[in-house]
Amino acid sequence: MASDTLNKKPVRWHIAIFLAPAVLVYTAIMILPLFSTLQLSLFTTVDQKLVFAGLDNFRTLFGDERWADSFWNAFGNNSWFFLVHMVVQNPIGVLLAALLSSPRLRMNAFYRTSIFIPTILSFVIVGFAWKLILSPIWGIAPSMLDFIGLKSLFAPWLGRDEYALTTLALVSGWQFIGIPMMLIYAALLSIPDEILEAAECDGITGFSQFWKIKLPLILPAIGIISILTFVGNFNAFDLIYTAQGALAGPDYSTDILGTFLYRTFFGFQLQLGDPNMGSAIASAMFLIILVGVSIYLFGIQTRLRRYQF
């Protein structure tokens, strides 16, 4: 009996005590609202009373022509918004991280700070600032292009259907390029010196060393950045709302799932708010993000592990 008492491991109550505040806060502001939204999407309002409707709201969202057109337009715009970030923001972030990690570069701390500063700015500040910069009336973009002899290239990019969404995606990429840069920078610094020294002994230096040695080793970090970009872009709302308003003009060309959800849930101008349909849109957004994250975790991340050192 005495030996069993000595061998018995003590219960680590301090772990639960330290985790409890964070778990309670996360549950209160994330888990409970999520389940409440999912529950609300299964009901409809009849004579100011909630009536269980099952999947009728989702049938309306995907089957009714008016709702389906708006949803798929927002989904397509959101997908393009994400694709621009993946093609422009993340590769440039990797390139900047590679340049800043060079031991020959001076004042790299200053460059890192300067590039990262837009990330900590408010969406409202960034949206209004770029709206002013790109304005054809009082913006500085026309005069700057005129100064370098390229004024003919200027167009009211935020006022044209074919340019507005891409322009805002590039603005968003400019704001958040510091995140992939810093994450990749940290991953590059964590590569053991022995590996790089062995590569130099084999004559692999410069760009060839980055392409053949460093890039495969930081693939897990690039994967994490990609999934964070996916989640962040499909939850986007602030920049579009600040720059283009709730109607996401012109002609809904910048309408994404976040602005579509906002108009549906809260209403806007002559459109009355419908919390039940809004919850159905929010649930669809959650499922889209869940599917994307699951594909990454179970289909991509497991293959990237073999590159870890």
Percent of the chain exceeding pLDDT 90 equals: 61
| Mode of pairing for the β-strands spanning 49-52 and 267-268 | unpaired
Alpha-carbon gap, residue 68 to 76, rounded angstroms: 12
Report the CATH number at residue 259: 1.10.3720.10
54 inside domain: no
Distance, in Å, from the CA atom of 172 to the CA atom of 234, rounded to the nearest integer, reads 13
For 199-222, what is the mean pLDDT? 87
- Confirm whether 28 is domain-assigned: no
Give the pLDDT confidence of 154-196 residue by residue, as tens digits. 889 999 999 999 999 999 999 999 999 999 999 999 988 898 8
Domain assignment present for 49: no
Residue 161 belongs to a domain: yes
Per the structure, the complete domain to which residue 88 belongs is given by 62-307
DSSP characters over 92-125? HHHHHHHHHT-TT-SSHHHHHHHHHGGGGS-HHH
User: What pLDDT band is residue 4 in, cutting at 50, 70 and 90?
Assistant: low
Structure-token pair, residue 179: 């995140």
Question: Into how many domains does the chain fold?
Answer: 1
Residue 262 CB partners (closer than 8 Å, separation 6+)? 237, 241, 246, 268
The stretch 199-209 carries a mean pLDDT of 84
pLDDT at 269: 80
